[in-house]
Amino acid sequence: MLVRIATAIALVSAVPVFSMQESLISESQESTAEQLIEMGLASDSGYEIVRSLTTEVGPRLGGSRQEARARDWAVQMFTELGFENVRIEPFEMPYWDRGAISTSIVAPFPQPLRASALGGSAATPQGGIEAEIVFFESFEALRDFDGSLENRIAYVNDRMISAQTGAGYGPANQKRRFAWLEAEARGALGVMIRSVGTDSHRFPHTGMMSTPNDGTINSGTHSDVAIAYIREEHPDYAENRMWSSIPAVALSAPDADQIERIHESGESVTVRLSVIAGWRGSRQSGNVVAEIPGRERPEEIVLIGAHLDSWDEATGAVDDGAGVGIVTAAAHLIDQLPRAPRRTIRVVLFGAEEVGLLGAFAYARDNSEDIGNIVLASESDFGAGLVWSLASGTSEEGTRFMDEAQQIIAPLGIIRGDRASNGGGPDIIPLAARGVPVFRLNQDGTDYFDLHHTPDDTFDKIDPDSMAQNVAAWAAITWLAAETDVEFRTQDE
């Protein structure tokens, strides 16, 4: 009855009355989405995919032989699960190798330290370096320092806070991205930072530094911020330089505490540092793609992704084995329905994300003619914690669709998040920059940065129930987006 009245009002007035608008999601569609949620909650296939990837491949640094094995693994998995158009889209990339590291305090209290080179770090001269550190409470203190750091090593100490949204990452990560620039510009022999992480274990957190690279800025997940920072603060680097010429390393939290305690006691700290990291030429990486062709509008694509590579010191269970498991299992659930959705679902497992979104940039470059066909995109790359909100950045109609879709996944404990999001996940950045609409199923990241980029990111940290909730939510939203004819793209673009 209400529906009939709403229709009548719509006929009378050209201005839509929000509360009276017809549903964009039909009862039948809602019912199928609910069925997918039920299937997802009962399935362990996301969890089992992470088990398989972390056990049978293990660590898989972008450009490494292990990453090539991961691609073979992914092709086999997609094929066995019955996906179509399974393919590797290869690309060339510069390869950085961690090599070995040795770090210690030599004075006043000799003892070894646990450290990890940051991605892109230069090696020390043979034999290592030994120098006094200059202690900076924060990245800002280093940035604002107007003295010289010649013959010394800059040390940056600020801590990351833990937050459900992961909001502590950006501020704490300034020192990982840019401290090398500030240190090198002041003549330092090297730079050390307290790890960007929220744990207190003896695991350093690695991660890529930001730097001009091939005319773009290689910066992990915050390209625009990195571009702005480097162009404004260090235009000479942006124009002329590729990478740091000094070694840059992260200390584990307990080792950083040790430096801090000695510094606070008034003693100056001398450290020894030997790093054999460096760039080792060009290697091949690739994105692995699989599809469920749409039954009515196969040219229209809902793209869901994760990244296949991991850092080299762990098996990449939460970063991003979990994402690989979640999006693959969600698409596989959809593939088990009696018929395919109207639009094509494309699963993309990006290569070489950790080392600078290289697979994402390659994907956008090599599929540039196809980007206009991507109606909606998202990536799962925030671990294996529970989804708690649905964000989106789409047309008005798309926003209304997502409002309704959230109601369907609300029983999973998911509220409606940001309606003007410009982020669909790190590897979606190059697509979003070209106008592709996005959504994101935001996960609880309270503990994510305990493990992030450490040797401790292993399969035992994955909770199967959380994985199942993720798969359920992804299956429902992905299927609804592929089944609808709602236009997510803003039409005046």
Omega within 30 of 0 (cis) for the link into 418: no
- The yes or no reply on residue 194 touching a second copy (CB under 8 A) is no
Q: Which helix (H) or strand (E) holds 198?
A: none
Among 159, 186, 202, 241, which residue sits at the site for a second copy (rule: CB under 8 A)?
202
- The yes or no reply on residue 314 touching a second copy (CB under 8 A) is yes
Q: How far apart are CA 262 and CA 109, in angstroms?
A: 9
Among 103, 315, 328, 399, which residue sits at the site for a second copy (rule: CB under 8 A)?
315
Minimum CB distance to a second copy, residue 348 (Å): 24
Please give the single-letter amino acid code of residue 104: S
- The yes or no reply on residue 35 touching a second copy (CB under 8 A) is no
Look at residues 293, 287, 289, 307 and name the one whose alpha carbon lies nearest to residue 482. 293
Which one, 49 or 376, has the nearer CB to a second copy? 49
Q: How far apart are CA 240 and CA 280, in angstroms?
A: 20
How many alpha carbons fall within 13 Å on the CB side of residue 380? 36
Minimum CB distance to a second copy, residue 381 (Å): 21
- The yes or no reply on residue 319 touching a second copy (CB under 8 A) is no
Minimum CB distance to a second copy, residue 51 (Å): 7
Minimum CB distance to a second copy, residue 443 (Å): 21
* Span of 150-158, 258-266, 329-337, 399-407 interacting with a second copy by CB under 8 A: 258-266
The DSSP secondary-structure symbol of 87 reads: E
Look at residues 296, 332, 307, 319 and name the one whose alpha carbon lies nearest to residue 428. 307
**CB atoms inside a 10 Å sphere around CB 368:** 10
- The yes or no reply on residue 455 touching a second copy (CB under 8 A) is yes
Sign (positive/negative) of CA torsion 136, 140, 143, 146?
negative
Backbone angles phi, psi at 11, to 5 degrees: -70, -35
Minimum CB distance to a second copy, residue 177 (Å): 26
Which one, 253 or 481, has the nearer CB to a second copy? 253
- The yes or no reply on residue 262 touching a second copy (CB under 8 A) is yes
Which one, 197 or 437, has the nearer CB to a second copy? 197
Q: How far is CA 477 from the centre of its chain?
A: 20
The DSSP secondary-structure symbol of 119 reads: B
Which one, 203 or 350, has the nearer CB to a second copy? 203
Interaction with a second copy in 57-76: which residues (CB under 8 A)? 57-59, 66
User: Which residues are near a second copy by CB under 8 A?
Assistant: 51, 55-59, 66, 105, 108-112, 114, 200-203, 253-254, 257-258, 261-262, 265, 314-315, 454-456, 458-461
